[in-house]
Chain A
Amino acid sequence: MLKIQFDTFTLANGLTVILHPDRSSPLVAVDLWYHVGSKDESPGRTGFAHLFEHLMFMGSRNAPYPAFDAIMESWGGHNNGTTSNDRTNYYEIGPRNLLETFLWLEADRLATLPDVITEEELEKQRKVVLNERRQSYENRPYGRAELAISEAMYLPDHPYHWPTIGSQADVEAATVADVRAFFDRFYRPSNASLVVAGDFDLAEGRALVERYFGWQRRREPPARAARPIEPRLPADIEMTLTDRVQLPRLRLAWHAPALFAPDDADLDLAAHVLGGGKSSRLYRALVFERRIAQDVFAYQGSQILSSLFQAGATAKPGHDLDEIGAAMDAELSRFAAEGPTEAEMERARNTHLADFYKGLDYLQTRADLLNHYQHLLGDPDGVGRDLARYSQATRESVRAAFARALAGNRLALRTVPEPVAA
């Protein structure tokens, strides 16, 4: 059976450590997850987890700005961070001689960041983030729909209501005091897990992690808000947005079970059968045969508190979204009634497995996967459990899962071209 080899232990201060040696290339990857995402923000203070991620690069006591990037890049290393609704991750990749440096830099910012953060640094990163918002959403075709989906699907008090990038007003209002409070609450060894992967041996890796993280004091993991009740749309929602696009696009969204909950993997397989490539049902019907759509998509957007199942299509010139909507509905209802064929199941399963293998080829993906399982299951050894969900799915379990999701109310979000000024 497929397995990623690793060794795991917990430091006295609560930091979970996972070591994954791989000596096939002279590279190392350090991957540190903090179990905090935009879901842990409050209404009116949105975008904070992500803004904070940017501030993590603004220097720490022993590695003042811009040492973090400058030191590692001087040796050919590079790094980044990403923030989602559920978690924030930071990673460094580089030659093996940088391993100790990576750990030192991560440890120093975990220990000392709030001591050194200044108003000027916050202001700079605020601007960078607002540019990121424009580049990724406001000045990108169909980007406005991306921002609107979560607000429409979740009530204002649900932690997925606001987008991870936050609102412009909230990002502008963030203060240094907010930054310190956020750090104090969530950036604790007991709220993090660290993967070290690549060209080192276990004893060396363990000694280095203990040297740089072991001295940091223990604090209890942050108290968590109670899990919100399962979201539900009280009725179907129809929304229309205008955007700077040539062609209208329809996007349908339903609430769906959370990541790893029953039905989650079945819906992932259903999404593949419906919209995963040329042989999928929506592609065949709308793009290939009827030629009313330029593209189609379907995916199960799995997240920890709850997921969204989404499907959509972009109309070809000369076709409208009523026609697209009717054609999609016909395919979706038929699938809910009949389920996938055995051949479709085989294709969906094999494609999923092949994509999984492909991910395993890259050191950083393996590191991130170990952290993903640790974050989700409290155990990095999740490959077997994860893949079993797919191998155990049946035609009927996929059909039934899809029928249950489709029975809920849905959002139909139309993006239409802005009227052209005369």
Chain B
Amino acid sequence: MIETPAGMATAPVVGPLPTVIPPQATQSELASGLEVVLVPRQVAPIVSAALMIRSGAGIDLPEKAGLASLTAEMLDEGAGARDALGIAEELERLGADLWLGSGRDGSQLSLQAPRETFSEALDIAADVLIRPRLHAADWERVLSDRRTACVQRRDQPEAVVSVVSDRVLFGDDHPYGRPADGLERTLERLTLDDVRAFHAAHWRPNHAYLVVAGDFDESALRTRLDTVLADWRPAPVPAAPPPPPWPKRPRLVIVDRPGAPQSVVRLVAPGTDRLSIDRSGLAMLNAILGGSFTSRLNFNLREKNGFTYGASSSFAFLHHPGSFAARSAVFAESTAPAVREMLAEIAGLRERPVTADELAKARATLLMRVAEGLATTGGIAATFGEIGLYDLPLDEPLRFAAALERATAEDLLALATRYIDPDAASIVIVGDRAAIEPGLRELGLPAAVVYDADGDKIPIL
């Protein structure tokens, strides 16, 4: 036995948590209606920009899933004076990263470059944004690659469980029910004219929000933005129709993967939207249930039972109410006990009151996540980009911190009772059906409904 000195015997006293002080952000508006937020940071010699468009895959028609994200992807396949490879070459020469894509609620152009070349890279970003070529030859290639990617997605159990869970939870007619990337069959219905129309309708300055964070000269950058974005014109943007209500859901869904050594398990149930006043409380509940290593789910499934490498949970707070999900990937032979424990932990949020320690931990965890998000240039751009996308006030990080302070264990119990119902969750599993179904039946679950990897129910023959 090694002797340790007395000073080692007890844990050091921990002082109070530091205050999170968000960086100084200044907001202005260009003549076109584009809102611009600048956040200086001089730690590394880089600049990050995030241009958010307030339309994403969440407005794709279900039969045309993939349109918003393909539109974003097509923009840098030739723009202004350069073809697709010309753009890629020039960006690399500048050491710049340009990324385009769409999530549920927004589309995004991100640009990151060294301080010295950011201004030049803005020229290319402006071409991509305002003057994409959208040529047929490029479209054919990009669409073909996307189709192949959707075929390959069937190989990835984690991706498959997401596709199927969204379909099960949101149903056939809700845009959140389809993957943002689309499906092989929805891609077949898309045309280049659809892309042109989506770009013309939604990629408008009055429907956008620009954040620039990093090491720049503020007045020079403002002048530059005025110049490069001068030709970007506003136009009325069509409103999206409201989504359909939650559908009736099957209790147990299996995507058969014969011989799979692990079962990828997801429990999904309705959550709430980004602007809900319950968001901070639900985020705390989630931190306790499955939002960190010592959370109830991970501690039970990984540390106590050794079923898995990890278990977690999350809420997707979206423009329309999103999902609540608990997830894990477990030994095939541990599938039924893992599902039992996951259901028990979810039920436990109503039955086992949140302790004072858990409450403090949830607060600190979420507060420090905010602090870490604000501690990199890219993180600052992402934090303020989300603020712009959901039209939140600039001091949202501080408001969130204050809401965390206010929440009590009783508040969280009330939220658990309102939002978290283990009996309402659908259980979606990608795994070896023959091996796992008998054990699941023993848990008292109904017969499984079998889906394919694209989220379609397989008819019983």
Contact = CB atoms under 8 A, between A and B. Distances in A.
A138 interface: yes
Given A245-B155, A277-B88, A346 B93 contact: yes
Interface in A156-207: 199
A94 B368 contact: yes
A292 to B, nearest CB: 11
A246 B43 contact: no
B17 A97 contact: yes
Given A27-B375, A74-B364, A317-B148, A98 B14 contact: yes
Given A24-B43, A134-B261, A246-B152, A353 B114 contact: yes
A294 interface: yes
Interface stretch (A328-336, A356-364, A381-389): A356-364
Nearest to B332: A134
B155 A141 contact: yes
Interface in B354-395: 357, 360-361, 363-369, 371-372, 374-378
Interface of B is mostly: mixed
Nearest to A245: B155
B152 A63 contact: no
B28 to A, nearest CB: 25
A26 B2 contact: no
A343 B89 contact: yes
A288 interface: yes
A298 to B, nearest CB: 15
A8 interface: no
B43 A22 contact: yes
Greatest chain B CB density within 10 A among A97, A138, A421 is at A97
B372 A93 contact: yes
A67 B97 CA distance: 41
Contact of B1 (A115, A247, A346): A115
A95 B95 contact: no
A96 B18 contact: yes
Contacts of B151: 246-247, 317
Contacts of A112: 2, 4
A279 interface: yes
A27 to B, nearest CB: 6
Contacts of B12: 100-101, 104
Interface stretch (A125-133, A220-228, A400-408): A125-133
A78 B306 contact: no
B461 interface: no
Contact of A361 (B88, B149, B377): B377
A53 to B, nearest CB: 13
Greatest chain B CB density within 10 A among A76, A107, A211, A316 is at A76
Interface string B169-187: 0000000000000000000
A62 B8 contact: yes
Interface in A395-421: 421
B307 interface: yes
A124 B145 CA distance: 43
B309 interface: yes
A63 B11 contact: yes
Contacts of A128: 302, 306, 308-309
B85 interface: yes
A62 B1 CA distance: 13
B20 interface: yes
A25 B262 contact: no
Interface in B1-22: 1-2, 4-5, 7-12, 14-21
Given A27-B371, A287-B145, A350-B93, A62 B4 contact: yes
Contacts of A351: 92, 95
B8 A108 contact: yes
A70 B294 contact: yes
A101 B92 contact: no
Nearest to A215: B5
Contacts of A346: 93
Contacts of A70: 294
A69 interface: yes
Interface string B42-56: 011110000000000
B37 interface: no
A218 interface: no
A157 B221 CA distance: 58
A263 B377 CA distance: 33
Contacts of B17: 75-76, 95, 97
Contacts of B21: 26
A135 B329 CA distance: 7
A247 B41 CA distance: 44
A358 B145 contact: no
B8 A111 contact: yes
Interface in A95-147: 95-98, 100-101, 104, 107-108, 111-112, 115, 123-124, 126-128, 130-132, 134-135, 138-141
A361 B95 contact: no
Contacts of B154: 246
Greatest chain B CB density within 10 A among A61, A108, A112, A357 is at A357
B375 A363 contact: yes
Contacts of B340: none
B446 interface: no
Interface in B251-269: 257-258, 260-262, 264
B261 A138 contact: yes
Nearest to B15: A97
Nearest to B304: A124
Contacts of B20: 26
B309 A131 contact: yes
B96 interface: yes
A96 B372 CA distance: 12
A337 interface: no
A123 B303 CA distance: 11
Given A128-B302, A354-B96, A284 B114 contact: no
A232 interface: no
B371 A358 contact: no
A372 interface: no
A281 to B, nearest CB: 11
A72 to B, nearest CB: 9
B368 A76 contact: yes
Given A124-B303, A141-B156, A134 B14 contact: no
A139 B262 contact: yes
Contact of B260 (A22, A139, A317): A139
A45 interface: no
A369 B94 CA distance: 24
A140 B378 contact: no
30 contacts: A27-B371, A69-B294, A70-B294, A73-B293, A74-B357, A93-B372, A95-B368, A96-B18, A97-B14, A100-B14, A104-B11, A111-B4, A128-B302, A128-B309, A134-B331, A135-B329, A139-B261, A246-B152, A291-B141, A343-B93, A347-B93, A351-B95, A354-B113, A354-B114, A357-B95, A358-B44, A358-B112, A360-B44, A361-B44, A361-B46
Interface of B: 1-2, 4-5, 7-12, 14-21, 41, 43-46, 84-85, 88-89, 92-97, 112-114, 117, 141, 144-145, 148-149, 151-152, 154-157, 257-258, 260-262, 264, 292-294, 299, 302-303, 306-309, 329-331, 357, 360-361, 363-369, 371-372, 374-378
Closest 4 interchain pairs by CB?
A: A354-B95, A76-B368, A127-B306, A76-B364
Given A27-B372, A115-B2, A244-B155, 19 more contacts: A27-B368, A27-B375, A62-B10, A66-B299, A71-B11, A76-B363, A76-B368, A95-B371, A100-B14, A127-B307, A128-B306, A128-B308, A134-B331, A314-B152, A317-B151, A354-B46, A355-B95, A360-B43, A363-B375
Interface of A: 22, 24-27, 61-63, 66-67, 69-71, 73-78, 93-98, 100-101, 104, 107-108, 111-112, 115, 123-124, 126-128, 130-132, 134-135, 138-141, 199, 211-212, 215, 244-247, 277-279, 284, 287-288, 291, 294, 314, 316-317, 343, 346-348, 350-351, 353-355, 357-358, 360-363, 421
